[in-house]
Amino acid sequence: MATPIERRIRWSGLIIALGLVIQTCTLFWTHPLAFMAFLLIGCPVVAAGLLFYLYSLVSRHPAGTEAD
């Protein structure tokens, strides 16, 4: 059974991966729209995943839900 922190880590990992996939796609095209996609979609998605991961580290959990 996954703990709340593990669920958050799972989501943050997937969000970061999604953002990086978008960034990778923009690297195949030299065009202002690729630049904009990198800046306005890829970067915010990765940043959101990263912040969610950091939040999962500092957030409090109800007693007994933490595994270790």
| CB nearer to another protein: pick between 13 and 59 | 13
SS (H, E, C) the chain: CCCHHHHHHHHHHHHHHHHHHHHHHHCCCCCHHHHHHHHHHHHHHHHHHHHHHHHHHHCCCCCCCCCC
Q: Is the CB of 14 or the CB of 59 nearer to another protein? A: 14
**Closest distance between another protein and the C-beta of residue 64, in Å?**
14
* Minimum separation from the CB atom of position 10 to another protein (A): 5
- Min dist CB 12 to another protein, Å, is 6
